[in-house]
Amino acid sequence: MYEDKVLVCADCGKEFIWTAGEQEFYAERGFQNEPRRCPECRKCRKNARSSQNGEREMYDAICANCGKPCKVPFKPTEGRPVYCSECFAKMKEKQSSARSYNY
């Protein structure tokens, strides 16, 4: 079903293999995008985030669903909706229940 793929890292530019097993893992969890970074760059990026005293930079946003102000751990992009944690959880719940009924 899945075959190993050669991808190019967005950070270092090196080629890396995205194995069939990793692709299956992504699909099982509903991830739709291929990884953009090689395992080494992902590890470095993760370590850099966790070494910032365990604190993530948070950005102010307005929920596209309920209109309440909220904080998100990414810089919002103009034209793309941002949801507060409550609305996001409700949307994920609806998606997972809809998936369980699709055979």
Question: How is the chain split into domains, by residue range?
Answer: 1-55, 56-103
- Rounded CA gap, 79 and 46, in Å? 28
- Rounded CA gap, 27 and 19, in Å? 12
What pTM value is reported for the model?
0.48
Partnered with residue 17 across adjacent β-strands are: 6
CB of 35 within 8 A of CB of 15? no
Lowest mean pLDDT, pick from 21-30, 42-51, 82-91, 94-103: 94-103
What DSSP element (H or E) covers 16?
Answer: strand 15-18
pLDDT tens, position by position, 21-62: 999 999 999 999 999 999 999 998 888 766 556 677 889 999
- Rounded CA gap, 7 and 35, in Å? 8
